[in-house]
Amino acid sequence: MHPVIEWKDGAVVMLDQRLLPAETKFIAMRSHLEVAGAIRDMVIRGAPAIGIAAAYGIALGMAELKGSPGLDQPGFLDRSFKAVSAAITSTRPTAVNLFWAAARMEDVYTEHRGDHSRLCRELLAAAEALDRADFEINRAIGRNGSDLLRDGDTVLTHCNAGALATAGYGTALGVVRAAVESGKKIRVIAGETRPYLQGARLTVWELQEDGIPVTLVTDSMAGLVMNKGMAQAVIVGADRVAANGDTANKIGTYSLAVLARYHGIPFYVAAPLSTIDHETADGAGIPIEERDKSEVTNFRGQATARPQTTVYNPAFDVTPAGLITAIITEEKVLFPEFGPAIAALQGLRRK
Amino acid sequence: MHPVIEWKDGAVVMLDQRLLPAETKFIAMRSHLEVAGAIRDMVIRGAPAIGIAAAYGIALGMAELKGSPGLDQPGFLDRSFKAVSAAITSTRPTAVNLFWAAARMEDVYTEHRGDHSRLCRELLAAAEALDRADFEINRAIGRNGSDLLRDGDTVLTHCNAGALATAGYGTALGVVRAAVESGKKIRVIAGETRPYLQGARLTVWELQEDGIPVTLVTDSMAGLVMNKGMAQAVIVGADRVAANGDTANKIGTYSLAVLARYHGIPFYVAAPLSTIDHETADGAGIPIEERDKSEVTNFRGQATARPQTTVYNPAFDVTPAGLITAIITEEKVLFPEFGPAIAALQGLRRK
């Protein structure tokens, strides 16, 4: 599959995921403000992909300054970096990878701010390294998680924690891919994931591209699917994992976790270490983005309810650690108690 | 509100609910095959409304025979009644009200088959009586159920068990209406109810028409809504209640019942006695309709997944009696054990 995000000829190029599966269209962006807008408008989405886009966007923002007379003025570069970084990080509050990537870029900035040309090269190199590393991280998550699946299992997943949400391969879907590569027969049931339909539009699409059997259901069918013994595991991605293991992920994840617990089905979170927020003690501290009500009252211009309708549209919910069977990272699979297990990993995330 | 179904000038007139909330359009049908098609294609839906449509459709089918030379032939009328009834009852397998209404009409047929003109008058009178009775039944369900709600409560509901699903007033929404009429402040949270969006399109619409505060959510938000203490009760309708209390209702109801149990929130079913199927011992015996996959892969002509996508699209699921707090009928509110409570009601349903 073509990269979801890449740097090409001085532009950040993204696959416009809003148009999938109907259309495969790439957008070339030549300004960090365009990149910020693309993150906000969900041209790309998924915590790891948002992190990669943020890194490229910051590199692009600093490259835009080339030839600017301000470069000779004291404090100009510092102010510019802050402005670029703020434009990028103010887009979506929940995915911690956004802030993690911005912090990585700030380290590079601090080290190389003396020479603008060199700075631009180093920022781009850092973004590309982060992009490449994400792919390898996903492969490692997949390898670590694949042992949790048995030959013949069906995995219920939600939203898209796949190649389209990352540099490639995916987190939750990376586990599925690794299990398939190891010779196991694995099927997937994908919840369509209203309101934005990432499950229907993205997860189904990328698994079909890979020839992995996938069945689409509405989100409300999850209970029935579990009750009928149609799924042996739930695997989802994460937008932020708090220090105690509480996990913010796409709205509907919490319902799935409760349903899985009731039916005695393991509930796995697959996420890179960059998704762990050691600074936030528990889920209560994770900011939850609320998005525009038109996502719920419309689908591609077709109204489902009158425009004046009152809507509650949180983009994420928090699944308490107590409902999570294991958290699959590139380093190892974490089991409860997650607090000590996560603390033991602190420091590894920047390696 | 204008009746959802009525007999007018020799035609069965229905509000085309598929077009709501965008358009309010009525269809006049002059053949029982059109009525059967309308039930199948969900021009109207909701177990009580399906029962009323079936009764009018059978009356219409027999009226169509007026002037037919076959009326003088032995056995013609019997064969015709069977054919009309089969056309109507073969449309949707889950809602038991369909078969209940057909059985009522068969009783009238058996009594009056000697005189075709009289038969037609009696069948129409029976259908109109059933229609009027449904409204009064809903009022009684509302009165009985309203005591279960406290002033200030918010009710989470699913699909549309309202005026649009019945002769008017509604079952689950009848309980809300009665509580509001008794002076309580009640709010509703409506799950949009994918794939057919009856919650978004119908429940939100009819509550807005009545000025009852309603907030629209996607189905996947139910867990979060309960976790945040935003709902104090779940009330849903029913398509069929088995003799032990197991209840078939719109897909997603079972997930809500599990979530309600987990969060300690009461889960109520509101249904007329005509929805109770005394012949079916438990939920395992209730046939579950699977509908076309295009309902899930499309929304009003907009593709959400590729047409070749594998889809699981059951229209209903079964909530076991053990997850139901009470069943609200026009006679009384039933509490567990539902088996004996339902058996005690047997015989009342035809009063």
- Over 50: is that where the pLDDT of B58 sits? yes
Treating both helix axes as pointing N-terminal to C-terminal, what angle do A116-146 and A47-63 enclose, rounded to 10 degrees? 170
Find the mean pLDDT for residues A225-232: 98
B194 touches chain A (CB under 8 A): yes
- Over 70: is that where the pLDDT of A1 sits? no
> Exposure pattern of B106-140 as b/e (b: 16+ CB <10 Å)?
eebbeebeeebeebbebbbebbbebbebbbebbbb
**What is the least distance, in Å, from the CA of A186 to any CA of chain B?**
15
Question: In this structure, are residues B225 and B189 in contact, taking their beta carbons and an 8 Å threshold?
Answer: yes
| Residue carrying structure tokens 């907030």 | B215
Written as one letter, the residue type at A249 is N
| Residues forming CATH 3.40.50.10470 domain(s) in chain B | 143-348
B31 touches chain A (CB under 8 A): no
Segment B213-222, tens digit of pLDDT:
999 999 999 9
Segment A110-149, tens digit of pLDDT:
999 999 999 999 999 999 999 999 999 999 999 999 999 9
Cβ contact, residue pair B309, A259, below 8 Å: no
- Over 80: is that where the pLDDT of A347 sits? no
Q: Among B94, B221, B250, which would you mutate to test the A interface (most chain A Cβ atoms within 10 Å of its Cβ)?
A: B221
Is the torsion defined by CA of A293, A296, A302, A303 positive or negative? negative
Q: How many helices (H) and strands (E) does chain B have?
A: 12, 17
What residues of A are in contact with residue B231 (Cβ under 8 Å)? Answer: none
Give the Å distances, CA to CA, from A121 to A73, A108, A128, A134, B190: 21, 10, 11, 20, 53
Which of helix, strand or coil describes residue B235? strand
ipTM of the complex: 0.95
Segment A255-312, tens digit of pLDDT:
999 999 999 999 999 999 999 999 999 999 999 999 999 999 987 778 899 999 999 9
Question: In this structure, are residues B208 and B188 in contact, taking their beta carbons and an 8 Å threshold?
Answer: no
- Over 50: is that where the pLDDT of B351 sits? no
Closest CA to A237 of A282, A306, A190, A289: A190
| Option in B218, B259, B308 nearest A251 (CB) | B218
Mean pLDDT of chain B: 96
Find the mean pLDDT for residues A219-245: 98
Prior bond to A320 cis, omega within 30?
Answer: no
Closest CA to B28 of B19, B46, B16: B16
Look up the CATH architecture of domain A143-348.
3-Layer(aba) Sandwich (3.40)
Q: Which of A2-11, A58-67, A170-179, A195-204 has the lowest mean pLDDT?
A: A2-11
Question: In this structure, are residues A218 and A191 in contact, taking their beta carbons and an 8 Å threshold?
Answer: yes
CA distance A277 to B152: 38
Question: In this structure, are residues B248 and B318 in contact, taking their beta carbons and an 8 Å threshold?
Answer: yes
| Residues forming CATH 1.20.120.420 domain(s) in chain B | 5-138
Locate the chain A residue with the closest alpha carbon to B197.
Answer: A304
How many Cα atoms within 13 Å fall on the side-chain side of residue A100? 25
Cβ contact, residue pair B220, A216, below 8 Å: no
Find the mean pLDDT for residues B145-174: 97
Cβ contact, residue pair B306, A193, below 8 Å: no
Treating both helix axes as pointing N-terminal to C-terminal, what angle do B32-40 and B76-89 enclose, rounded to 10 degrees? 20
Q: Among A19, A157, A202, A218, which would you mutate to test the B interface (most chain B Cβ atoms within 10 Å of its Cβ)?
A: A218
Mean pLDDT of chain A: 96
Written as one letter, the residue type at B264 is G
pLDDT of residue B3: 82
Q: Which fold has domain B5-138?
A: Four Helix Bundle (Hemerythrin (Met), subunit A) (1.20.120)
CA distance A70 to B140: 77
DSSP A201: I
Find the mean pLDDT for residues B56-81: 96
CA distance B29 to B14: 8
Find the mean pLDDT for residues A86-92: 97
Question: In this structure, are residues B185 and B222 in contact, taking their beta carbons and an 8 Å threshold?
Answer: no
CA distance A286 to A245: 12
Percent of chain B exceeding pLDDT 70 equals: 98
Query: Residue A10 has which token pair?
Result: 């001085």
Closest CA to A39 of A121, A132, A102: A102
- Over 50: is that where the pLDDT of B254 sits? yes
pTM exceeding the 0.90 threshold for the entire prediction: yes
pLDDT band at A351 (very low <50, low <70, confident <90, very high): very low
B326-328 and B267-270 beta bridge pairing: parallel
Give me the catalytic one of B41, B107, B115, B239: B239
Question: In this structure, are residues B55 and B131 in contact, taking their beta carbons and an 8 Å threshold?
Answer: yes
Alpha helices of A228-312 — where are they, by DSSP H? 253-263, 294-297
Find the mean pLDDT for residues B254-265: 98
B221 touches chain A (CB under 8 A): yes
Query: Residue B183 has which token pair?
Result: 């002076």
Segment B106-117, tens digit of pLDDT:
999 999 999 999
Question: In this structure, are residues B148 and B268 in contact, taking their beta carbons and an 8 Å threshold?
Answer: yes
Q: Which helix (H) or strand (E) holds B209?
A: helix B204-210
The question of whether B239 is a catalytic residue gets the answer yes
A267 touches chain B (CB under 8 A): no
| Option in A215, A220, A224 nearest B310 (CB) | A215
Query: Residue A329 has which token pair?
Result: 């990272």
Question: In this structure, are residues A97 and A275 in contact, taking their beta carbons and an 8 Å threshold?
Answer: yes
